[in-house]
Amino acid sequence: MIAKTPPPPYYAVIFTSLRSDGDNGYAAMAHKMDELASKQPGYLGMESVREELGVSVSYWDSLEAIKNWKNNLEHLEAQRHGKEFWYTHYKTRICKVEREYEL
């Protein structure tokens, strides 16, 4: 589903990843993080796809909101598990959305 975001400007966090083999609790934690993120101040929505490469884009109203989410204690635990068990490689990019177009 395409996230319903407000008119720009706002921020996007783009998380791309390559998964390791096996679930190792990934699906349950991903669901928990989706729910937790949606309750954070400044959260605007998320889009995610996974084939061989996973891409998740979360939208936020400020850089401060992104920083607060990154430092959320439960999210820090998920990040630790990601490094240890779930990802063979990942990259996070943060950008400011200045324009958008839709059909």
CATH number at 67 reads: 3.30.70.100
In a domain, 103, yes or no: no
Domain with 42, as residue range(s), is 10-97
pLDDT digits (tens, 9 = 90+) for 53-67: 999 999 999 999 999
The pTM of the whole model exceeds 0.85: yes
In a domain, 17, yes or no: yes
In a domain, 16, yes or no: yes
In a domain, 36, yes or no: yes
pLDDT digits (tens, 9 = 90+) for 23-32: 889 999 999 9
What are the CA-CA distances from residue 21 to residues 54, 66, 72 (Å)?
Answer: 14, 29, 27
In a domain, 70, yes or no: yes
Q: What sign for the dihedral angle of Cα 67, 18, 56, 29?
A: negative
Could you give the number of structural domains in the chain? 1
In a domain, 3, yes or no: no
